[in-house]
Amino acid sequence: MQKNPREILAQFWGYNDFKGSQSKVVSAVLEGRDVLALLPTGGGKSLCFQLPTLLVDGICIVISPLVALIHDQVENLKNKGIKALALTGGIPQDEVISLLDNCLYGNYKFLYLSPERLKQELVLKRIVTMNVNLIAIDEAHCISQWGHDFRPAYLECGTLRTLLPEIPFIALTATATEEVISDIKNNLQLINPLIAKDSFARDNIAFQIQNSEDKRYELKRLCSQTMNSAIVYVRTRRASVELSQFLSSHNFKADFFHGGLNKIEKKTKLNNWLNNKSQIMVATNAFGMGIDKADVSLVIHYQIPDCLENYFQEAGRAGRDGKPALAVLITNKGDEAYVSSQFLSVLPNTKFIKKVYNKLNNYFQISFGERVELAYQFSLYNFCDTYKLNTLKTYNVLRILDQYSVISLSESFSKQSEIKFICSKNILFEYMDRNSKATNIIQTVLRTYGGVFDFETKINTQLLAKKTNQSESMINEVLEQLKKDGLVEYKAQDNDLEINFLVPREDDSTINVFSKKVDELHQNKTNKLHKMLAYVQNNKVCRNKLLLAYFGEKRKEDCRKCDICLEKYSKINEEKINENIISLLKDGDKSSRQLIAMLDFNQKAVLSSIQYLLEEGLIMINYKNEYQLKR
């Protein structure tokens, strides 16, 4: 006798009932309908395709963008006793064939793929022969050119519709504007889909902006107020290490996570955090997607993200257990200027793309109209130095040329050598006295890169060669010797790109084909950043209402939890705050930071009350810059 959805829900997930639109989505999938599920972070998206798959014969093909997300979901399914496997990058072809055979003959229920796998004819041929019951496109916003994580490889998902026209699709995302929703439907060729959209509101989360010139103090203050798990998001790997060390030095159980860690390091750090061996994870946005940890009560953004989609998705990793949680963005005016410069200054316009493409052809002496079948190795640094081009902006051009199939770019271009000094400075100086050949190179490393004694630092050996008037091989030789002598940890990596030219050289005509599209995309990125900054600068509208409005959802009531609401409604608490401050000062003089930490009120409201009490002559400031009662 076949079980019904609620029996499966109880058996494998331990829930007695569905939440939100889950029941409606599951029913539609079982009826064979296409579905577009727009559910908030923590809304149980994966259950919407996993549960119905268990009720029918066959296997579900799941397309997902991140290896970590794929492995996490496969592991969770295996822990439930459900047969699932993953086909990600770096697997030898004979093993790929073996895994696909398992899907054919091994009674597996789920095959997880990265979108790049859909470019392989072998994979597509095997999928066609499988008993596929459902195709799930997770993080479906990646298929939209207007989405915040647009992945050109996601466009290959439409191939599955052509190959398996009778099989229903379910597309799932937690963040989608109307433009993105339209793109998802069109690119996946969804047929009369059920569009299930739950409210994106996270009423248990207080969204707040904290302006502070001393951001580290603010970080420490916020972390000290939570007993549960926390995530601190930063933009760079280096910042993740630095802030983790800062928090650890103040007795917090903190760790860091970024994309440069190897698989074992990532797994160890993640497990320690999931099992509460570490409380605070300082991480880049490589961390968190698909990580189901219910008791995160604090998410801090230490720097401004580039768009509201990323911010809302990351902040939404707080409070999945439904309990009160806090999502804080710590910022100041300097941050706002920096984020504009960082993201906008490196967006190449059509004129710059044409310039780089022209220089690229000249660099390899490719004549007009010529199509070259060779793979070229070249140094991005040397190329940019030759033509006096901005490195990051040029790199973005190469990515665009790769995206629009003008060139094919290798995966190795992002690799860089890393170094960390593990000896004391005194020992290093003694070493330089004994090894004059290494002195200039060591000094140049120290002058060029800060923090090399504190954490692994990426270095450009070609740049060091130019600065020292030495060959790059000499730089590597000296650094390898330092490693052998126990003074440094050094990982040497090839930093060259490999480029294949896919079309004949036609200069401007080559770029004109997609130039309008690139300009539109860059304008879209610019608009997204401006909306992010408008959210940060907002001082009138409830932040919850502002976020929901961005995703097309209207909310009449204020949340009364965000910093805007707390200040707006704080007048009813003014007398209470004043009384509490006076009561605390009766026990001894205190600084403003101490008063803020001791009072369960919004920081702005406390500072406003302090100012009022000063003006009324009820309190005064002593020589230690502390507040005391007027004698």
**Residues 39, 43, 49: CA angle, nearest 5 degrees:** 75
Coil, strand or helix at 270: helix
pLDDT of residue 413: 47
CA 13, 18, 24, 25 dihedral sign is negative
Angstrom distance (rounded) from CA 521 to CA 30: 37
> Is the whole-model pTM more than 0.85?
no
Looking at this protein, which amino acid is placed at residue 89? G
Give percent of the chain above pLDDT 90: 42
CATH of 569-629, one of 3.40.50.880, 3.20.10.10, 1.10.10.10, 1.20.140.10: 1.10.10.10
Angstrom distance (rounded) from CA 62 to CA 331: 38
Reading the block at residue 101, the tokens are 């055979």
Cβ contact 418:535 at 8 Å: no
* Residue carrying structure tokens 């270095």: 459
Looking at this protein, which amino acid is placed at residue 300? I
Angstrom distance (rounded) from CA 228 to CA 43: 21
Burial class, 287, CB count within 10 angstroms (exposed 0-12 / middle 13-18 / buried 19+): buried
Strand order in the sheet with 417-421: 457-459, 417-421, 488-491
Reading the block at residue 147, the tokens are 């989405």
Cβ contact 134:61 at 8 Å: yes
* Residue carrying structure tokens 């768009």: 307
Q: Residue 581: which of 547, 563, 605, 560 has the closest Cα? A: 605
Angstrom distance (rounded) from CA 422 to CA 441: 17
Q: Residue 421: which of 411, 431, 413 has the closest Cα? A: 431
Higher pLDDT, 453 or 82: 82
99-132: pLDDT as tens digits = 998 898 888 999 999 888 888 888 999 999 999 9
Q: Residue 461: which of 441, 481, 488, 435 has the closest Cα? A: 441
Q: What fold, for 5-197?
A: Rossmann fold (3.40.50)
pLDDT of residue 3: 74
List strand residue ranges (DSSP E) for 423-503, in order: 457-459, 488-491, 496-501
DSSP class per residue in 224-257: HT-SSEEEEE-SSHHHHHHHHHHHHHTT--EEEE
Angstrom distance (rounded) from CA 489 to CA 481: 11
204-242: pLDDT as tens digits = 999 999 999 899 999 999 999 999 999 999 988 889 999
List strand residue ranges (DSSP E) for 115-250, in order: 132-137, 169-173, 194-197, 205-211, 229-233
Count the alpha carbons within 13 Å of 62 in the hemisphere toward its beta carbon. 32
Higher pLDDT, 512 or 291: 512
Q: Contacts by 522-526 with C-beta closer than 8 Å and gap 24+?
A: 522/347, 522/348, 522/349, 524/146, 525/306, 525/307, 525/343, 525/347, 526/344, 526/347
345-414+497-524 belongs to CATH 3.90.1150.10:
no
Cβ contact 332:555 at 8 Å: no
Looking at this protein, which amino acid is placed at residue 257? F
* Least confident span in 86-95, 381-390, 586-595: 86-95
500-558: pLDDT as tens digits = 888 899 999 999 998 988 888 888 889 999 999 999 999 999 999 999 999 888 888 99
Give the helix/strand (H/E) hosting 68: helix 67-79
Give the helix/strand (H/E) hosting 413: none
Identify the CATH class of 205-340. Answer: alpha beta
